[in-house]
Each structure stands twice: as structure tokens, then as C-alpha cells.
């Protein structure tokens, strides 16, 4: 006899669409990571200090609905609050 119950919800990492924070999103690695995430239909939150580069990335990736930007210096104490 099987004692399996109803299927449980998938863990957060497997829920779709995901919303993924990409730090250094305008740099060599960040750009590639952000593009790869969008190609899988994940939504992204892009962070870096240069607002114009961030805006260009967000536009390339589909705009504000799917690619939000947070212009922030991660070395500052209140960076987590700015991103949250
Ligand atoms: N590329 C590689 O092959 C490789 C290999 C191994 C490890 N890594 C490491 O991976 C990391 C990223 O590499 P990368 O090649 O993508 O570097 P990169 O091209 O120099 O990009 C750095 C990114 O971080 C942002 N950034 C820098 N300082 C910041 C700060 N204080 N606050 C917020 N954002 C900041 C930059 O944008 P803003 O200047 O606009 O803030 C940019 O988006 C580095 O730590 C690097 O050492 C890279």
C-alpha cells in the first residue's frame, strides 16, 4: 500500500518564473548570466552603480516588467535595504 500524500509544492528554487538577483549585472559575467536567465524566462533584478548601463541592459532584456534595476554601490552599508 502506498502512503504517499498529495504532491507538495516545489521548493522555491524550482518555482517558475523565478526572480533572480544579478549583482554586477553590467559586467562581463553579469551580462551573460542575466541574458541566460532571461532566455529561460526568469525575471531578473539587475544591480550595478552605472545607471545608464543598467537601463540599457534592462531594455535589452525586455524592459521593466521582467528586468528591474537597482542602481546601488554594494560597498555601502544600506545596500541591502536599497535592493529589498
Ligand atoms: N570574468 C571572469 O572570467 C571571472 C573569472 C573568475 C572570477 N571573476 C570575478 O567575478 C566578478 C565579476 O567579474 P566580471 O569579469 O564580470 O567583472 P567586471 O566586468 O569588471 O564587472 C563588474 C560588475 O560589478 C559592478 N560593480 C563593481 N563594483 C561595484 C560596487 N561597489 N557596487 C555595485 N556594483 C559594482 C560593475 O558595474 P558598475 O561599475 O557600474 O558598478 C559591473 O557590473 C569579479 O569579482 C571577478 O573577479 C571573473
Query: What is the model's pLDDT at position 33?
Result: 98
For residue 58, the model assigns a pLDDT of 98
Quote the CA–CA distance of 72 and 84 in Å, as a whole number.
Answer: 12
CB neighbourhood size of 72 (10 A): 18
Residues of the chain with pLDDT under 50: none
Q: Which helix (H) or strand (E) holds 35?
A: helix 28-39
The Å distance, Cα 1 to ligand 1 centre, comes to: 55
pLDDT tens digits, residue range 49-69? 999 999 999 999 999 999 999
Q: Whose CA is nearest to atom 22 of ligand 1?
A: 27
Which pLDDT score is estimated for 2? 58
Exposure of 70 by Cβ count < 10 A (0-12 exposed, 13-18 middle, 19+ buried)? middle
Supply the CATH classification number for the domain 17-75: 3.40.50.720
For cell 544591480, what's the residue?
Answer: 47
pLDDT mean across residues, the chain: 92
- Measure the CA–CA gap between 56 and 84, rounded to whole angstroms: 22
Give the closest residue (by CA) to ligand 1 atom 8. 29
All structural domains of the chain with their residue ranges: 17-75
Amino acid at each position: 500500500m502506498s502512503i504517499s500524500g498529495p504532491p507538495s509544492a516545489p521548493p522555491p528554487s524550482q518555482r517558475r518564473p523565478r526572480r533572480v538577483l544579478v549583482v554586477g549585472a553590467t559586467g562581463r559575467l553579469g551580462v551573460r548570466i542575466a541574458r541566460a536567465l532571461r532566455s529561460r524566462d526568469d525575471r531578473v533584478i539587475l544591480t550595478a552603480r552605472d545607471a545608464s548601463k543598467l537601463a540599457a541592459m534592462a531594455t535589452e532584456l525586455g524592459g521593466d516588467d521582467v528586468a528591474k534595476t537597482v542602481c546601488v554601490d554594494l560597498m555601502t552599508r544600506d545596500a541591502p535595504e536599497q535592493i529589498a
